[in-house]
Structure formats: structure tokens, C-alpha cells
């Protein structure tokens, strides 16, 4: 299984899921600015969309959307319990979270810290994010993870995205359940291992 990734991006979500599932990925770093692979190869020759994450499975399937990659990975190892069975209401609830993270968190956090964003848009993104995190904070009341006691691929994705609260200088203490949840996710062996692997590859 090949994981095309860039350190510090959303590709960390699928990377966490792989570590949870015991998959040792072949990790291929992507230079996102130049769309280049190590050795100068053209990343868009693999993923024409030019963004990470991108995975190539052993049967040659290529997948390029976080929420789909995460479901694909978890479905390969149903016994690991990283996602409920397809067709169940729990599965739709995980998909609900994946979609929320993808459209409401993933796309509202980067405008707070990326360069080349009009300065007057930054507070707009911040205000939108705050509303979304208020919702998440309420949902996490009394829960360990987004689905309750069970860690799922939605938590893998959320961890990768909440990492950006650091460069965004967004103080999570205003959302104490989210803050405790994020710290709980970061302490998992899978997250520690994925971090270590990306650090080692960058060294």
C-alpha cells in the first residue's frame, strides 16, 4: 500500500488509520508546491488532482479523497472495528462526521494561517470555525471519541485537522471537550507512531 503524503497536512488522517490497522505503508513524500515526487517524478501522473492524501492499493486502485480513503482502509480490516458495517445507522453517523470534518473543519482552518489569503477573510473563517467547534464540543460531552467509546476513522481525520489549530494559533481551551478529545487522540500509539514516521522521513 502506497501512501502519498505531505507532512503537516490532512494526509496524516489516513496515515493514523494505517497505523491503527497495522498497515506499514510505503510512504512517498510529495512536494505539494511543485507537485513533485522524490527524484523529480510528476505527482500528477499518479493523482491528476495534485493533492494529498493519495493511496495506491496493491491491486492498483488509486483513491484521492480523505473520507473515502479512510472508509476503504477500515473496510479492509473490519475485525479492527475502526468503522461500523456498511448500511448500519452507526456507519451513516461516521459518514456524517467524515463529511462534517471534510467540509466544515478541513476547509475553514487553513484560511486562518495560510499565506496569500486576504486578511479580511481570516476573521470570517475563524468565526465559522468557532461555531463548528461549539457544536463539536456539545457532541463530545461525556464521550471519549466522536462515536462514543469507540475510536473510528472519523477520529483519525479529526486529529489531523485539529493539528492545524497550532499554526492557526486557535486556542482550544474555549472548547474544553474538544481540547480533551484532541489530547486523548494525540496520545494514541497510532498517532505517536505516525508522527514519528513522518518526522524520521523528514530528517
Ligand X SMILES: N[C@@H](CCC(=O)N[C@@H](CS)C(=O)NCC(=O)O)C(=O)O
Binding residues vs ligand X (CB under 6 A): 9-10, 32, 50-52, 65-66, 102
Tell the burial category of 75 from Cβ atoms under 10 Å away from its Cβ (0-12, 13-18, 19+): middle
Nearest distance from residue 171's CB to ligand X, in Å?
Answer: 22
Give the nearer residue to ligand X in terms of CB position, either 32 or 193: 32
Cis ω before 173 (30° cut-off from 0) = no
Nearest distance from residue 114's CB to ligand X, in Å?
Answer: 10
Nearest distance from residue 174's CB to ligand X, in Å?
Answer: 24
Residue 62 DSSP one-character state: E
Give the nearer residue to ligand X in terms of CB position, either 9 or 137: 9
Q: Which residue is nearest to ligand X (CB)?
A: 51
Give the nearer residue to ligand X in terms of CB position, either 52 or 146: 52
Q: Are 173 and 179 in contact (CB under 8 A)?
A: yes
Give the nearer residue to ligand X in terms of CB position, either 52 or 194: 52
- Collect contacts of 5-8 with beta carbons under 8 A, ≥24 apart: 5/29, 5/30, 5/52, 5/53, 5/198, 6/30, 6/31, 6/32, 6/52, 7/198, 7/199, 7/201, 7/202, 8/163
CA dihedral 200, 159, 168, 183 (to 10 degrees): -90
Give the nearer residue to ligand X in terms of CB position, either 13 or 137: 13
Nearest distance from residue 79's CB to ligand X, in Å?
Answer: 26
Q: How many CA atoms lie within 13 A of 42 on its CB side?
A: 4
Nearest distance from residue 2's CB to ligand X, in Å?
Answer: 16
Q: How far apart are CA 127 and CA 131, in angstroms?
A: 7
Q: Which of 40, 72, 39 shows the shortest CA–CA distance to 53?
A: 72
Give the nearer residue to ligand X in terms of CB position, either 137 or 154: 154
Amino acid at each position: 500500500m502506497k501512501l502519498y503524503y505531505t507532512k503537516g497536512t490532512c494526509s496524516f488522517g489516513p496515515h493514523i488509520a494505517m497505523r491503527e490497522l497495522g498497515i506499514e505503508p510505503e510512504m512517498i513524500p510529495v512536494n505539494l508546491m511543485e507537485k513533485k515526487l522524490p527524484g523529480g517524478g510528476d505527482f500528477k501522473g499518479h493523482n491528476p488532482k495534485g493533492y494529498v492524501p493519495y493511496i495506491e492499493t496493491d491491486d492498483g486502485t488509486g483513491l484521492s479523497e480523505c473520507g473515502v480513503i479512510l472508509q476503504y482502509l477500515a473496510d479492509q480490516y473490519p475485525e479492527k472495528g475502526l468503522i461500523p458495517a456498511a448500511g448500519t445507522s452507526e456507519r451513516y453517523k461516521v459518514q456524517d462526521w467524515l463529511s462534517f470534518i471534510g467540509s466544515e473543519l478541513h476547509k475553514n482552518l487553513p484560511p486562518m494561517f495560510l499565506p496569500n489569503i486576504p486578511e479580511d477573510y481570516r476573521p470570517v473563517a475563524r468565526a465559522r470555525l468557532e461555531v463548528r467547534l461549539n457544536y463539536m464540543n456539545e457532541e463530545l460531552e461525556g464521550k471519549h471519541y466522536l462515536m462514543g467509546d469507540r475510536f473510528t476513522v472519523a477520529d483519525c481525520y479529526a486529529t489531523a485537522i485539529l493539528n492545524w489549530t497550532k499554526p492557526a494559533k486557535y486556542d482550544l481551551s474555549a472548547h474544553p471537550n474538544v481540547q480533551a478529545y484532541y489530547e486523548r487522540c494525540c496520545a494514541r500509539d497510532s498517532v505517536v507512531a505516525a508522527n514519528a514516521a513522518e518526522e524520521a522521513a523528514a530528517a
